[in-house]
Amino acid sequence: MATELTPLLRRKFEEYDHQEALAWLTSLDERVNWLNQTNNGAASSLNIEELFDLGHFDALIWKMRQHVCPVGRNSGDTPYATGEAIETWLSYMEDDLRDVIWSQQEATGQKSEGISRFTDTLRENDAVVTFNYDTLVERSISQADKPWQYGFKTENGQGTMVLKMHGSINWAIVPRGQVDNFGYPVLFRKEDQNTREATGEPAGETEYDYVLLHIPDNKLASRIKNRFLQMSNKQYGIGIAGLGRYKPLDAIPGSGRVWHNAGRALYQAKEIETVASLVQLIRCRRGPRAGCRG
């Protein structure tokens, strides 16, 4: 799925007629293809992580070219300006990525028989480890009228743990002081014994300055469809990561909790099942006394 998403993102840019961004994407493809053909004659097929990672690196290269440019950063069409433009396009692509995943998920709809068969076998003390951004597994478990959780201490602690290793399209990253403006359930909010909440001063630490929220299903569609109305005053980030150096895993508050739980689930599992037909789904079947909330 990671490779399939890349051309869908390109089509989004074509819809918006982002000519400069499309020209840059074409240039990036050509350079990667040239490198691959030099090695083995095969054309490249960038997956999402590679696209964002190489894009981030390309922006850095352009900014370094500014070091040998005879004018300042803001003196017109400079290498630094190009690097900043690439970073802007990548931020647009991150937003578009959620749109694309949502569209693919809605197109799948009730037709995902493979996921249904998988979730039908789940027990309450199982854990599902997945690198997918969509919410098809959660939706399928809910439709089967089974309890589930993301494995954070703020939840009720009951049901199958769905451990989203790279985050999820229904997670929102918001500044600590703006949580009440959303009214969404809190998944992760770090408490620091050495920091007084009353000061309201940022600590300069992502895991403390930001809070991870769970966007309910009945709000997610409107959040995505009205994204352009929200972009002028964007107050939250999308809770997905694993996009190479552009957005590493620690950019999601609470990601350490997810990975900790996944490690314990795999270690304590009596049975591990990898679903080949569904990308990156792993079921960890634990004994009745095993736990991995940490």
Question: Is the model's pLDDT at 289 over the cut of 50?
Answer: no
Same domain for 126 and 94: no
Q: For residue 60, give both structure tokens.
A: 């850095």
Same domain for 100 and 76: yes
pLDDT in the model for residue 164: 96
End residue of a domain, out of 84, 109, 134: 109
Mean pLDDT of 215-234: 70
End residue of a domain, out of 81, 109, 137: 109
Rounded Cα distance between 173 and 178, Å, is: 10
What are φ and ψ of residue 248, in 5° steps?
A: -70, 175
pLDDT in the model for residue 184: 93
Question: Is the model's pLDDT at 186 over the cut of 90?
Answer: yes
Same domain for 121 and 104: no
Same domain for 195 and 99: no
Question: Is the model's pLDDT at 288 over the cut of 50?
Answer: no
Same domain for 119 and 96: no
Of 88-102, 196-210, 236-250, the least confident: 196-210
Asked whether the beta carbons of 212 and 172 are under 8 A apart, the reply is yes
Nearest to residue 252, comparing CAs of 177, 180, 172? 172
Q: In the chain, how many domains are there?
A: 2
Nearest to residue 25, comparing CAs of 84, 78, 90? 90
Q: Is 83 exposed, middle or buried (0-12, 13-18, 19+ CB in 10 A)?
A: buried
End residue of a domain, out of 46, 81, 109: 109
Model confidence band, residue 210 (pLDDT cutoffs 50, 70, 90): very high
135 Cβ contact list (under 8 Å, min separation 6): 105, 168, 169, 170, 217, 220
Residue 290 included in any domain: no
Same domain for 261 and 154: yes
Asked whether the beta carbons of 82 and 62 are under 8 A apart, the reply is yes
Same domain for 236 and 105: no
Same domain for 229 and 130: yes
Question: Is the model's pLDDT at 1 over the cut of 60?
Answer: no
pLDDT in the model for residue 189: 94
Residue 292 included in any domain: no
Residue 293 included in any domain: no
Question: Is the model's pLDDT at 75 over the cut of 90?
Answer: yes
Asked whether the beta carbons of 28 and 40 are under 8 A apart, the reply is no
Q: For residue 214, give both structure tokens.
A: 């769970």
Where helices occur in the chain by DSSP H, the ranges are 2-16, 19-39, 48-65, 79-108, 113-120, 136-143, 206-209, 217-225, 227-230, 255-268
CA neighbours closer than 13 Å in the CB half-sphere of residue 171? 27
Domain that holds residue 158: 112-285
Same domain for 213 and 169: yes
What are φ and ψ of residue 196, in 5° steps?
A: -85, 125
CB atoms within 10 A of CB 227: 15
Same domain for 265 and 141: yes
